[in-house]
A and B are shown apart, each in its own frame.
Chain A
Amino acid sequence: DQQVKQNSPSLSVQEGRISILNCDYTNSMFDYFLWYKKYPAEGPTFLISISSIKDKNEDGRFTVFLNKSAKHLSLHIVPSQPGDSAVYFCAATNAGGTSYGKLTFGQGTILTVHP
């Protein structure tokens, strides 16, 4: 049972345009969501997070939107840069419970930003 899904295995975007990466979840106990970026042969790098009490969080070029009723979140990158090309993982956890640190990851989306 895949509790966190990233249905787009890949996304290709032109430099300067917006990249939108999507993530859906099924477990209503999840209350904290994170996006990580991963280059080959490296560990995941934290990008941005959002608590379930919010519907938007912004950090520079990165904005995460959360729609709790739809159990959907998205990561917007504006403007996209070639250096953003990587695998992006959506992750979720029940941070208010005792299982903090137990991140459930989506399958990842490969973002390619073309110059």
Chain B
Amino acid sequence: DTEVTQTPKHLVMGMTNKKSLKCEQHMGHRAMYWYKQKAKKPPELMFVYSYEKLSINESVPSRFSPECPNSSLLNLHLHALQPEDSALYLCASSATGTVGNTIYFGEGSWLTVV
């Protein structure tokens, strides 16, 4: 089973709203990621969590707040977003500690900020 599950699949929110994206995996992976993909562009890394601790933040604005409550769950809290934040948000996971671990992606959450 190489499944990463993301909810919701689609989200429309106003610029003053607070919402969250959720991600779950049951592969025993201890590294989880958030990537962002704009139309016709490749995915870009936002955050990396390793053993439930934030290890990489790619200079993401503070209106995006990640959280890793346990080894299976990863959340992305959204607040005061801008229309240009509309994109496909991808969660991913992988094993750690071994060179060349494959990263598995979820189906993504389409976010539209109005």
Interface size for B (C-beta < 8 A) is: 32
**Option from A43, A102, A105, A107 in Cβ contact (under 8 Å) with B56:** A102
Q: Is the CB of A42 within 8 A of B107?
A: yes
Q: How many A-B residue pairs have CB under 8 A?
A: 69
In the assembled complex, the Cα of A10 lies from the Cα of B33 at a distance in Å of 29
Which of under 10, 10 to 19, 20 to 34, or 35 or more describes the interface residues of A?
20 to 34
Q: Is the CB of B102 within 8 A of A49?
A: yes
Q: Name B109's closest neighbour in chain A (CB-CB).
A: A43
Q: Is the CB of B94 within 8 A of A101?
A: yes
A89 — which chain B residues lie within 8 A by C-beta?
Answer: 42-43
Q: Is the CB of A43 within 8 A of B100?
A: no
**Option from A32, A45, A46, A105 in Cβ contact (under 8 Å) with B42:** A105
User: Taking A44-B43, A100-B31 as contacts, is the C-beta distance between A49 and B100 under 8 angstroms?
Assistant: yes
| Interface CB pairs A-B, < 8 A, 13 | A32-B99, A41-B108, A46-B2, A46-B102, A51-B100, A89-B42, A95-B101, A98-B55, A101-B33, A101-B48, A101-B56, A101-B94, A102-B56
Known: A42-B108, A101-B45. 8 other contacts (CB 8 A): A31-B100, A34-B103, A43-B90, A43-B107, A45-B105, A101-B103, A103-B45, A105-B44
